[in-house]
Amino acid sequence: MTQQLIAPKSQPSTQPEAQPEEKLELSWVNIFVFASFHLIALTAPWFFSWSALGVAIFFHWLCGSIGICLAYHRILTHRSLEVPKWLERILVTCGALALQGGPIFWVAGHSLHHAHTEDNDRDPHSAKKGFWWSHMGWLMYKQDKYFDYDQYKKYAPRADRDPYYRWLNKNFILVQIALGLALLAIGGWSFVIYGIFVRVVTLWHCTWFVNSATHFWGYKNFECEDGSLNNWWVGILAYGEGWHNNHHFNPRVAKAGQRWWEIDVTWWAIQVLKSLGLAKKIVS
């Protein structure tokens, strides 16, 4: 039986302009980049060391839970809490290290997903187009309305007002290169393979499962107008983001897991920041 745990609130009001359906053209640059990262990650067994694995796990958490889930998602996109500006910029930089696009691009795409969930023309990764499309297929095509800065920036106006975020949106790859050089200097190619390629590829899929798997398999705590579901294994892999039905029912709530057993690792980080007096105006 469906159990309502929190009162519904209005959905985001982002309203992109209707555009005619475009004929999709493959983005060979994107395909090359994604394929290269996956192939290099597959060389990991020949570079294994326990310290390198530890580096991968640490940066997976730092870039995933702190960078994407906390900074990009709950702070920048939904404004579920506030932190000091200096700290926000540090956290957002961790998000840029996830190699999932700059902050303005990410916020704009996610805002459109919430405003037009499963709309084949306006949701960038609509699950109604199939698992493959929602998981990663949408990234393999040229779609200016989602990938051209001049078109998508209007869906992330707050982030776009920040000059540092505008710089980071254009230069997030430079931050990744800097990290790669640092890892090379500290631990050699083993650290680079695990700290960059293994970490980036596994984190990509953990994030993509939120777009795909949580619209195909799981359960509902709340009745929503879309097909969002709670998926326990995505909840674990994606640091709490897998409780997607909870999140879609009330996107601004800072805590994604609503039942006692719905583990939300990112919420734990928010609690730590709150105890240190660094997180305020937490939406509950």
Q: What is the mean pLDDT of each run of 10 residues along the chain (284 residues)?
A: 41 47 86 98 98 98 98 98 98 98 98 94 95 97 95 97 98 97 98 98 98 96 93 97 97 96 98 98 96
Beta-bridge partner residues of 219: 230
Query: Checking phi first, is residue 199 left (phi over 0); if not, alpha (psi -120 to 50) or beta?
Result: alpha
Supply the DSSP symbol for 16.
P
Supply the pLDDT for residue 23: 79
The string over 265-281, giving b where at least 16 C-beta atoms fall within 10 Å of a residue's C-beta and e elsewhere, is: bbbebbeebeeeeebee
How far apart CA 66 and CA 265 sit, in angstroms, is 10
User: For position 225, what pLDDT does the model report?
Assistant: 86
Q: Supply the pTM of this predicted model.
A: 0.91
CB 77 within 8 A of CB 105: no
**Looking at residue 25, what DSSP letter applies?**
E
Whether 223 contacts 242, CB under 8 Å? no
State whether the Cα torsion 3-222-132-255 is positive or negative: negative
Instruction: For 141, list phi and psi in degrees, rounded to 5.
Output: -125, 155
